[in-house]
Amino acid sequence: MFHETLAHCETPLVGALPKRSPFGALFSRTLPAYAGQYPVGVRDVEVPIPRQSFGNFKHNSMPDGEAGITIDTVMFTLFYPTELTLRSRGQMVWFPRLRQTVDGLLKMSNKPYNWFYNTVAYGGVAAMIRGTTFPGIKDAPLKPPPESNKQWRLILFSHGAGSSRLMNSAVCGELASRGYVVAVIEHRDGTGPSSRITNEAGETKDLYWLNWSDLEWASFDLEEQPKDDATLRHVQLEVRLAELEGIIEALRRLARGEPLVLTGQTGLSRDWSGWDRMDVTNPIIGGHSFGGSLAMAAAADGRFKFSHVVVFDPATQRLEPWNKCISAPLLAINSEEFATGVEFTKLLAMAPSAATHELYVIPGSTHPAFSDIFLILPNYVNKLFGLAADPGRVIDLTIDTTRRFLENEEDNTDRIVRHVSGSLTKGEVGDINSLVRCHREDSV
């Protein structure tokens, strides 16, 4: 028999990240330094894969007027421990293609083009984040593990809808600074604001956000076309699974010391020696929001084998109907916003399908708090968007809870335990200085 409990953690689990300015990155134009013991290297990788198409709809916003979604390359960014320092190389630009990203965000609003509105939107975003960097060292070599007979553990991370591979750089960089190699997928399924695809010949095309209302599905009569984005999201989840499969295969080749066939500029001036120090046999899968949906779906898919599953506010409704089993331990860290909604109730029903699971709620947090966005914006803007908790502390708790889970460490903090059934109310979550834990334990 299984039971669920809610526990109240009175003591911080880890020392705080470097102090963050109340103005965010508005004046410094850089995200906080990583708190782990290793500097962090960063490199982009794009590799060709066999051409595949998904979905039977027509659309105008995808390249070349194609039917469905077609992929023939996969892209990801590696965050990993290195021996170089920021002084020797400098930091990475957070959004190197800012205008295209803003264009994609405007497409997400699904509003008719308006020159004045678009100009103001671009100016406002540029004033907030243009030139912002994060503390990763471009193309640095991978550091040898501290013990010669060991390898760095691999985490595959999937971003949410409306996001991109660099929008979770704080979480991924913090994990890398603690001794993990993190491969963050850039999904080309129409869920990102903008992504540039480069083929083997170096030719480029831009892929923008795909609005479900712009599609015409061949499998439905005109009057029976989908009334929401659910049908599209199921197709996009299949695209993500195919991308994940291609990336895992590329990383396996890299770990075997085989040369990668890289597209465009991503393969220039690269030294890939030493990447056999990465353990690809039992990777960890993680993700935020729709990326959490991918992580849970992949962990229940026979094509893959993962040691652990780590999700932040997983979009559980995208997985319905759920009748699968997750063979690995599951950790779900959730925002207060998520925990007081219907998605959390669905997560409570799905989580017992995992080998074991732990569920946490961070009080005062909102759904975007697992991304970089609140680290960049000033505190007064964050509060306007409903964030009551300190954004650095949200990342702090997320990283330490994830690390404890992956390293199988006991949490010895004092807890007040009581039964939980269903979603939580705002009052049940607690104050912003605590971490709430909802944990399923197996009895003999």
With b for 16 or more beta-carbon neighbours within 10 A and e for fewer, the 231-247 pattern comes to bbbebbbebbbbbbbbb
Q: What is the pLDDT at residue 191?
A: 92
Q: What is the pLDDT at residue 414?
A: 35
Assign 442 a pLDDT band (cuts: 50, 70, 90).
very low
What angle, 0 to 180 degrees and rounded to 10, lies between the N-to-C axes of helices 290-299 and 230-255? 60
Residues with Cβ within 8 Å of 247's Cβ and at least 6 positions away in sequence, in order, are 74, 76, 156, 183, 185
Q: What is the pLDDT at residue 196?
A: 85
Rounded CA gap, 181 and 296, in Å? 20
Assign 5 a pLDDT band (cuts: 50, 70, 90).
very low
3 state DSSP class of 441: strand
Burial class (CB in 10 A: 0-12, 13-18, 19+), 146: exposed
The count of C-alpha atoms lying within 13 angstroms of the C-alpha of 384, restricted to the half-sphere facing its C-beta, is 5
Residue 163 DSSP class: -
More confident site: 176 or 98 = 176
Mean local confidence (pLDDT), 117-138: 73
Which token pair is 16? 């705080």
Q: What is the pLDDT at residue 129?
A: 67
Q: What residue spans of 316-390 are helical by DSSP H?
A: 336-339, 342-350, 373-376, 379-384
Evaluate if residue 64 carries a pLDDT over 70: no
Evaluate if residue 77 carries a pLDDT over 50: yes
Report which residue type is found at 94.
W
Residue 274 DSSP class: T
CB 39 within 8 A of CB 84: yes
pTM metric for this prediction? 0.86
Assign 346 a pLDDT band (cuts: 50, 70, 90).
very high
Write out the H or E segment, with its range, that includes residue 186: strand 180-186
Evaluate if residue 100 carries a pLDDT over 90: no
More confident site: 437 or 8 = 437
pLDDT > 70: percent of the chain? 73
More confident site: 399 or 100 = 399
Mean local confidence (pLDDT), 77-105: 74
CB 81 within 8 A of CB 177: yes
- DSSP track, 93-162: ES-TTHHHHHHHHHHHTTPPP-HHHHHHHHHHHHHHHTT-EES-EETPPPPPPSSTT--EEEEEEE--TT
Residue ranges per structural domain of the chain = 20-407
Mean local confidence (pLDDT), 72-90: 84
pLDDT digits (tens, 9 = 90+) for 20-36: 666 555 556 678 889 99
Q: What is the pLDDT at residue 6?
A: 34
Q: What is the pLDDT at residue 103?
A: 66
Burial class (CB in 10 A: 0-12, 13-18, 19+), 418: exposed
Assign 19 a pLDDT band (cuts: 50, 70, 90).
low
Query: Integer distance in angstroms from the first to the last C-alpha of the chain?
Result: 8
pLDDT digits (tens, 9 = 90+) for 149-204: 789 999 999 999 988 899 999 999 999 999 999 999 999 999 988 888 887 777 88
Assign 18 a pLDDT band (cuts: 50, 70, 90).
low
Q: What is the pLDDT at residue 21?
A: 65
Q: What is the pLDDT at residue 105?
A: 66
List beta partners, residue 374: none
More confident site: 243 or 109 = 243
Rounded CA gap, 183 and 311, in Å? 15
Hunting for tokens 């949490």 — which residue is that?
Answer: 411
CA distances (Å), origin 377, targets 4, 30, 31, 268, 349: 36, 11, 10, 34, 35
Q: What is the pLDDT at residue 126?
A: 63
CA-based nearest residue to 207, from 199, 439, 274: 199
pLDDT digits (tens, 9 = 90+) for 203-251: 888 888 888 888 888 878 877 888 899 999 999 999 999 999 999 999 9
Q: What is the pLDDT at residue 121?
A: 64
**Is it true that domain 20-407 has CATH number 3.40.50.1820?**
yes
Q: What is the pLDDT at residue 289?
A: 97
